[in-house]
Amino acid sequence: MCGTCGCAEESGGTRVVMLREEDAPDHGHPHPHPHPRPHGRRQPDGAGETVTIEQKVLAKNDLLAERNRTWMTDRGVVAVNMMSSPGAGKTTLLERTVTDLGGRRPVAVIEGDQETRLDADRIRRTGCAVVQVNTGAGCHLDAEMMRDALTALSPAEGSLLMVENVGNLVCPALFDLGERSKVVIISVTEGTDKPLKYPYMFAAADLILINKSDLLPHVDFDIEQCAHHARSVNPDVRVLTVSATTGEGLAHWYDWLAEQR
C-alpha cells in the first residue's frame, strides 16, 4: 500500500507509449518503488528502516530530476507540471491550450494516467506531439518516467512541454520531475476548502488555475475564499480563474506560459 494515499502498489505497471504514429509500439519496464509518508504520522515498530528507504527513493528521484532539468535547459525546453484531482479539466485545458497557442511556440505533451491512451489520443488529434505514460497502479509520475518519456518524445529545442500528471492531490507534489513550474488546477465543482485539505500540493504550486468558471452560477463555490485558503499555505502563489470551455481567463494563462522561459 502507498503510505501517502493508500493506493495499491505493484511492480511492472509503467509503460511509455509514443503516439505520434498509429502503430507506435508499447515500451514497458518494471517500476517498483515505495511512496514517502508525510512527516508527523505515527509509525509502527521498525518504521525507521522504512523511512530511510523512502528518503533514499526521494534522493534518487531528485538526482534524476536534476539530470532531466539539465537536459531540458540545455535544449531550451520548458516543462510545466500540471496537477489536479481527477475531473478538474486538465485534458480539456491542454487541448484548448495547444490549439490556441498554434504556431507561437513548439508545444509537446506528456500524458500521465494509470491506464488507457484516451487522453493522449485527444491531444494527438490536435496535431501536437505527445507520449502517454501509463503508471499501472502508480498514483503519480516520477523523474524516471519523465526521463523515459523525454527519450521517446524528443521535444524540439525551445519547446513548451506540458506534463499532465496522474489525477491525485497528494503524491504528484512530492516527486520532482525536473520541471520549470508546477501548476495546480482546481475546478469550481470541487470544495472551496481544497487548499486547506491538501496543503502540500497547493504549497508546491507556482500557479493555481480555478477552472470551469462557466459553472459558477450552478455550484456553491467561493473563488475569493478559495484563493484566500491557497495563499494561507502559499502566500506568493498566483491564482487565475479560467474556463477551458468558454475561453474565459485563458489569455492570462497564455501570458503566464509565455513568461516561462
Instruction: Name the nearest CA neighbour of 157 among 68, 254, 72, 261.
Output: 72
Mean pLDDT, the chain, as a whole number?
85
DSSP string, 26-57: EEE-------PPPTT----TTHHHHHHHHHHH
pLDDT grade for 180, boundaries at 50, 70 and 90: very high
Averaged pLDDT for residues 14-32: 45
Question: Which residue bears the cell 486538465?
Answer: 90
Instruction: Decide which of 151 and 114 is more confident.
Output: 151
Q: Which of the four pLDDT bands, split at 50, 70 and 90, describes residue 137? A: confident
CA distance 89 to 30: 30
Q: What is the DSSP string of 60-129?
A: HHHHHHHHHHHHHHHTT-EEEEEEESTTSSHHHHHHHHHHHHGGGS-EEEEEEESS-SHHHHHHHTTT-E
Residue of 202, 196, 206, 133 whose CA lies nearest to 165: 133
Of 47-51, 122-126, 142-146, the range with the lowest mean pLDDT is 47-51
pLDDT at 104: 84
pTM equals 0.82
Q: What are phi and psi of 108, to 5 degrees?
A: -135, 160
For residue 55, what pLDDT is reported?
Answer: 75
Burial 175-207 (b: 16+ CB within 10 A, else e): bbbbbbbbbbbbbbebebebbeebbebbbbbbb
